[in-house]
């Protein structure tokens, strides 16, 4: 079902399903609702915020979008196969992922009839590049990591008529993501006792907090999960200021922003945000269990949020007095991810020594 606009044109995201999960509820010891963002048109929640930003830019006379996307850390294998932007690559790395922001921008551009350039690092997998090109995007390869690709995107955005579509750090992106909470308000009989999500650059977190303010749910705690080695939000909270990680060592590349948006840190002052760092092994085990339990394959970034349920983190937070006891219900944002395949899950297990 397509989402209804608040006023203005129809958004590009759908009203995603919210379903109770019996397996997750058993694991967590409380009723768990899944907000299934993995069924969005581009496979992740990103289309909410990026779609909204693209629509806003189109109203202001933009002639072309430019977006950075892809992995934010080093690869665990070779590079891409094929010819992208006149650059040739080695065999496809089985652990490559990313590209969700670029896919959202390309999808929105196609819907609007606008050209779009998506800048990706060389660690981006060929499946993602192919999907981008199928949506009509011009793909440019620049740098080894997302930060380098983003610098190139910002350079291109200086061209007259071109507008940068940032993956996570823009008020219009946050406003678009806020629609997720409004849908929860419309669907649930009572407000949840907590919302569980993964944090990368902080855009989803900022959007959820905006949505909580809009529906009067500011007292609902947020449990924000990151994997160790991509824990820039947790590091910022510990330091009381924005910090930049020296490198991204986690396999959850979609969480690998070396520094979160400043707005993410502000959100922790406005609402109860509980930061949790999970291990890569916990995230990947959660991916596998979720596939078995709910028949859906998600990226490691999403596995970080699911690990809060599968690895007993909610119960620990209750014992520590950081969450209420008992919990009536919680919502986990199944953020999705469009660049995961069964072979990658097996490669992740091999990489981490999991049986």
Rounded-to-integer distance, Cα 18 and Cα 137, Å: 31
Structure tokens at 217: 């749910």
Confidence band of 98 (pLDDT split at 50, 70, 90): low
Rounded-to-integer distance, Cα 210 and Cα 197, Å: 15
Mean pLDDT of the chain: 88
Which tens digits make up the pLDDT trace of 43-69? 999 999 999 999 999 999 999 999 998
Residue 332: per-residue pLDDT: 99
The residue behind tokens 């510990």 is 238
Structure tokens at 346: 């097996």
**Residues facing 118 on adjacent strands:** 67, 139
Which tens digits make up the pLDDT trace of 268-280? 999 999 999 999 9
Which tens digits make up the pLDDT trace of 244-264? 886 777 776 665 677 889 999
| DSSP reduced 3-state for 256 | coil
Q: What string of H, E and C letters represents the secondary structure of 150-214?
A: HHHHHHHCCCCCEEECCCCCCHHHHHHHCHHHHHHHHHCCCCCCCEEEECCCCHHHHHHHHHHHH
CB 185 within 8 A of CB 215: yes
Question: What is the set of domains in the chain, with CATH numbers?
Answer: 18-45+170-352 (3.40.50.1100), 47-164 (3.40.50.1100)
Rounded-to-integer distance, Cα 68 and Cα 166, Å: 7
Residue 18, CA atoms < 13 Å, CB-side half-sphere: 22
With CA atoms as reference, report the closest residue to 254 among 152, 103, 64.
103
Confidence band of 214 (pLDDT split at 50, 70, 90): very high
Contacts of 264 (CB under 8 A, 6+ apart): 199, 201, 202, 205, 206, 233, 236
Helix (H) or strand (E) holding 216: none
Task: Average the pLDDT over 294-299 and give the result.
Answer: 96
Residue 146: per-residue pLDDT: 81
Residue 173, CA atoms < 13 Å, CB-side half-sphere: 23
Residue 209: is its pLDDT beyond 90? Answer: yes
Residue 145, CA atoms < 13 Å, CB-side half-sphere: 15
One-character DSSP codes across 223-235: EEEEETTS-HHHH
Which tens digits make up the pLDDT trace of 312-347? 999 999 999 999 999 999 999 999 878 788 998 999
Residue 87: is its pLDDT beyond 90? Answer: no
Buried b vs exposed e over 97-135: b needs ≥16 C-beta within 10 Å? Answer: bbbbbbbbbbbbbbbbebebbbbbbbbbbbbbbebbeeb
Residue 144: is its pLDDT beyond 90? Answer: no
Helix (H) or strand (E) holding 119: strand 116-120
Task: Average the pLDDT over 149-161 and give the result.
Answer: 95
Residue 250: per-residue pLDDT: 78
CB 302 within 8 A of CB 198: yes
Burial of 165 (0-12, 13-18, 19+ CB in 10 A): buried
Is the backbone peptide bond immediately before 62 cis, with ω within 30 degrees of 0?
A: no
Which tens digits make up the pLDDT trace of 101-130? 999 999 999 999 999 999 998 888 888 899
Structure tokens at 259: 């520094």
Compare 196 and 93 and report the one with higher pLDDT.
196
Structure tokens at 22: 């019996």
Rounded-to-integer distance, Cα 203 and Cα 176, Å: 10
Structure tokens at 289: 């269990």
Confidence band of 99 (pLDDT split at 50, 70, 90): confident
Residue 315: per-residue pLDDT: 97
Task: Average the pLDDT over 80-109 and give the result.
Answer: 59
Residue 137: per-residue pLDDT: 97
Residue 89: per-residue pLDDT: 31
């Amino acid at each position: 079902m397509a989402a209804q606009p608040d006023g203005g044109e129809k958004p590009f995201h759908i009203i995603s399903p919210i379903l109770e999960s019996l397996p997750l509820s058993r694991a967590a010891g409380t009723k768990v609702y899944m907000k299934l963002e993995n069924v969005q048109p581009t496979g992740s929640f990103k289309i909410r915020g990026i779609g909204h930003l693209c629509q806003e830019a189109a109203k202001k006379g933009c002639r072309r979008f430019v977006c950075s996307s892809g992995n934010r850390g080093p690869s665990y294998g070779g590079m891409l196969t094929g010819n992208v932007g006149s650059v040739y690559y080695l065999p496809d790395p089985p652990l490559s992922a990313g590209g969700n922001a670029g896919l959202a921008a390309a999808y929105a551009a196609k819907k609007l009839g606008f050209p779009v350039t998506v800048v990706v690092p060389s660690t981006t997998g060929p499946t993602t590049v192919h999907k981008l090109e199928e949506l009509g995007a011009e793909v440019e390869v620049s740098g080894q990591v997302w930060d380098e690709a983003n610098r190139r995107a910002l350079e291109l955005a200086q061209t007259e008529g071109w507008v940068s579509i940032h993956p996570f750090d823009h008020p219009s992106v946050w406003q678009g993501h806020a629609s997720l909470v409004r849908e929860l308000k419309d669907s649930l009989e009572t407000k949840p006792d907590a919302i569980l999500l993964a944090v990368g650059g902080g855009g989803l977190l900022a959007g959820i907090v905006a949505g909580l303010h809009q529906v009067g749910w500011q007292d609902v705690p947020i449990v924000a999960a990151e994997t160790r080695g991509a824990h820039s939000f947790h590091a910022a909270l510990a330091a009381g200021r924005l910090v930049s990680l020296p490198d991204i060592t986690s396999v959850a590349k979609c969480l690998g922003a070396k520094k979160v948006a400043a707005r993410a840190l502000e959100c922790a002052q406005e609402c109860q945000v509980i930061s949790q760092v999970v291990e890569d092994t916990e995230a990947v085990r959660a991916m596998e269990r979720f596939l078995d339990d709910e028949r859906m394959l998600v990226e490691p970034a999403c596995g970080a949020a699911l690990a809060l349920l599968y690895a007993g983190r909610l119960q620990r937070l209750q014992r520590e007095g950081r969450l209420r006891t008992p919990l009536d219900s919680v919502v986990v944002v199944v953020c999705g991810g469009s660049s995961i395949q069964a072979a990658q899950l097996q490669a992740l297990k091999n990489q981490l020594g999991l049986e």
